[in-house]
Amino acid sequence: MTSIMYTVFHLASLQCSVRPEISPCTCETGKAWNHVELSCEKLESFNAVVDTLANKFNPDTKIDLKITHSQLDDLEMRSFTDMNFNLYKLRMKWNGLRSLPEVPFRGLSNVTYLGIGDNELEEIPKHVLSHMPLLQTLDIGRGNIRAVQQDDFRGIQAVTNLILPSNNITRLDKGSFPRSLLILHLGRNRLETLNGTLLDLDKLQSLFINANNISTLDNELPDGSKLRLLMAHNNRLERLPANMAEMDELETVHIQSNRLRSLDRVFRNAVNLQEFQAENNELEFLAQDEFASCYQIDNLLMSCNHIRSLNSSLLPILKLKRANFSFNDMEEFSMGEIHGLRSLKFLVLSNNRIQRLLPDPRGIQKMLLVELYLDQNRIEALNGALAGLGNLRILNLASNRLEHLQEGDFYGLQRLEILDLTGNQLVDLKPMETTILPNLKILSVAFNNITKLEQDFKGLPVLCQANLTNNQISSISSDLVTNTRCRNHNVPGKLEINLDDNPIMCDVRLNELCRLMAVQEARIRGRSQCFENDQEVCTVLPMLYKVDLPIVVTNLKIGGREDAKPVVQMLVPSLLKGNEELFPPIIATLGQPLINPVIIGSAIVPSLPPLPLLTTTPPPPVVTTTEKEVRIAESPTVSPAPTSNTTTTTTTTTTPSAQVAPTEIVTTTAPTTTTTSTTTPNPNETLPVIVEIQESEAHEGNPINNTENADPGIDVKPEEDLEVVVPPLTVGDPIHDEREKERQRENESEDELKHDLDQESVAKTEYETVEFIPNLVQPPGKANALEEDSDAQSNSVHAEYPHAAQSLQIPEEPPEE
């Protein structure tokens, strides 16, 4: 048997062995051993086609010839019989033909297929068709034909497939179509009526009359028709013909985009109907027996109508798999409407007016429903109506009016993978704590009113994406993801929590929460007004707010000067506030971090706003005098001696400091007056950073305790704490060299201080040095720390469902029952 098949294939291959003599035409073997397909493209004349192919093939070989994109102006000069082969299929498309001469087609009595569409023919070439008595398929689509006349097809009475779409046909003459037709395609023309031309076509099986201007089919379709496929969509039909009730062989009906107000029960006997599309009509009512015998329908599309109730009309359709009733006027939906439909997998009820979901008292546990869409409705409560849908993978409840979830609403949804609750009015997710959804991977609760998250993910062990954007979340418990570990197709991953535009995004406590989430294989993403777009919060916050120690202001001494009083009035009220009111909550640290010794450099502040980074206890009374500079002497904390918890050592070093213009901020770490203290705290105790704002030594020998211009309500410090102030440096100052020497001495003092600190023994596991301290005053013209990261790589959250990961959006197909 194998050798016979090889011999047949070899004989067919010989017909199309290397044939340079037929170039530029090409040759391919057909489906049968004696069939050959020839293709000629972009030839300059029909004469060239004939000369190229003439006498090149065995007369017994059946030739399928295709001539496209060629110049055939000389078509009437030669004949197809001059090629001397058996032509049985002829395709002449995209040649710009306006008419066909009769002479070239004489003698083509064996042709069964003629394709002359995609040209510019203005009438049916009946003189050509008269030479093809065996023609079965005629394709004259996509041309400029305007009418079908009575004798156009008289010469092809055996034709079964007549293709006439996308022309300009406005007129059909009675008796023009052969009664042998099985398929008639008149779609995308300009017909307003069929003019009774189909009444005698009792063999017709497929009818395409779509995209015309037909307003009625009454008395247009043959009685007792064998019609199986009816494409009548995009017309102006207001009703269906009564004799359609007798067409029990219908399998596919498309009547969408018409003006139908009722189906008039014409499909109640269509026992073979499998696909029914009637969307975008004006249907208001479905009879209870509308589909009484249509148990084989698997695809039912009736969206964009005015249907108010299904009226149990779907119950007989036992094999229904897809049903779409979106954009209708249903105000109530009972799960009893789909009771017993065990093959139903996709149900779309979006964009209705559904306010109530009613459970089915008979139960829905045996349904195979995989996707359920109830978005864009007015549902206020689920009432447990969806409980028991054990095969459901996607549940869309977005844009409803849900305020609360009940504990039993999602009971039994063991295979649910995507849950969309976006755009509701939910204030919490408390019931999710006791609801076990073992396969939920994507949860979207964006645009709700949720204020806090505690253990809401407790019953979601494999959650991978949680979209909580645009809520009112101000607190998140570290127990949120205790029982949640992302797994996608059994591959471990990270849970991503998106918190765009929530109050917690501007809380520094989120910094500590990010570290806790990272330990539990979760990460927080999102954007906020507090930092640039497309920045991951857990990447930005540690860099901005890494303040592990509170700062304590111990005293404030300001040198006397004429403009000192406004500065004191600006500083003192802020510094005397309590801990809770001193600074905004964004600066408050979370927990009790380990001790981090900090060295803060001195700075000359021209006009200080209220200090935004100082926290802790109110300071003691301060001294106010007049001085031309305000100096802040900050005391670095030195590591404690390990032998005692109560020993305190104080070392004071005084060196002159270089004075700069009032508009600059000195970032050097060599203070004028440096007080070093060492304290050994208890374990896990926070050691404050001591900041002393001291007065400068008065010029021209003025005593430091001069209180003539001081505020009487502020105490004066003794003269022990003096600060040497050097006059401002100007261009051409004769003491410029002396200033340089003083700066060198300051650097030497700083090196000695660092050397002393290095000699102290520090337990590296308990203490560490903070490298970054935010500036108290931002220099003019410099962007804040967030703006400095504007070039950082974007790390925004994944797009939510339906912009989520493709592997999560397409659930695995459930097993058939």
Say how many residues make up the chain: 817
The structure tokens 């991951």 sit at 536
Element (H, E) at 555: strand 551-558
Burial status of residue 191 (CB atoms within 10 A of its CB: 0-12, 13-18, 19 or more): buried
Q: What is the pLDDT of residues 152-201, one digit of tens each?
A: 999 999 999 999 999 999 999 999 999 999 999 999 999 999 999 999 99
Beta bridge partners of 346: 322, 371
Distance CA 65, CA 46 (A): 13
Closest CA to 165 of 144, 182, 149: 144
**Tell me, what's the pLDDT at 59?**
86
Task: Give the largest CA-CA distance in the chain.
Answer: 130
**Tell me, what's the pLDDT at 740?**
67
**Tell me, what's the pLDDT at 748?**
66
**Tell me, what's the pLDDT at 747?**
67
**Count of alpha carbons within 13 angstroms of residue 615, beta-carbon side:** 17
Task: Quickly list DSSP for 788-801.
Answer: HTTTSPP-PPPPPT
The structure tokens 């030195």 sit at 638
Distance CA 462, CA 443 (A): 11
**Tell me, what's the pLDDT at 200?**
92
Number of H helices, E strands in the chain: 10, 38
Class of domain 191-329: alpha beta
**Count of alpha carbons within 13 angstroms of residue 202, beta-carbon side:** 3
Distance CA 583, CA 49 (A): 91
Distance CA 124, CA 159 (A): 15
In SS3 terms, 564-602 reads as HHHHHHHHHHHHCCCHHHHCCHHHCCCCCCCCCCCCCCC
Burial status of residue 393 (CB atoms within 10 A of its CB: 0-12, 13-18, 19 or more): buried
Distance CA 810, CA 813 (A): 9
Task: Decide: 329 and 350 in contact? Cβ < 8 Å.
Answer: no
**Tell me, what's the pLDDT at 131?**
94
Q: What is the dihedral of CA 419, 423, 429, 435, to 10 degrees?
A: -20
Helix (H, G, I), strand (E, B) or coil at 752: helix
Q: What spatial distance separates the first Cα and last Cα of the chain, rounded to whole Å?
A: 42
Distance CA 817, CA 58 (A): 57
Both tokens of 486, joined, read 């992302």
**Tell me, what's the pLDDT at 736?**
55
Task: Decide: 272 and 295 in contact? Cβ < 8 Å.
Answer: no
- Which CATH number among 3.80.10, 1.10.1740, 1.10.15, 3.40.50 corresponds to the domain 417-545+774-817? 3.80.10
CATH 3.80.10.10 segments of the chain: 191-329
Q: How many CB atoms lie within 10 A of CB 18?
A: 6
Amino acid at 486: C
Closest CA to 450 of 470, 471, 433, 435: 471
**Tell me, what's the pLDDT at 508?**
77
606 prior amide bond cis, ω within 30: no
Closest CA to 141 of 172, 161, 160, 119: 119
The radius of gyration of the chain from alpha carbons, rounded to an integer in Å, stands at 44
Q: Which residues of the chain have pLDDT under 70?
A: 1-15, 17-20, 531-742, 745-817
Distance CA 444, CA 398 (A): 9
Task: Decide: 463 and 457 in contact? Cβ < 8 Å.
Answer: yes
What is the value of pTM for the model shown?
Answer: 0.66
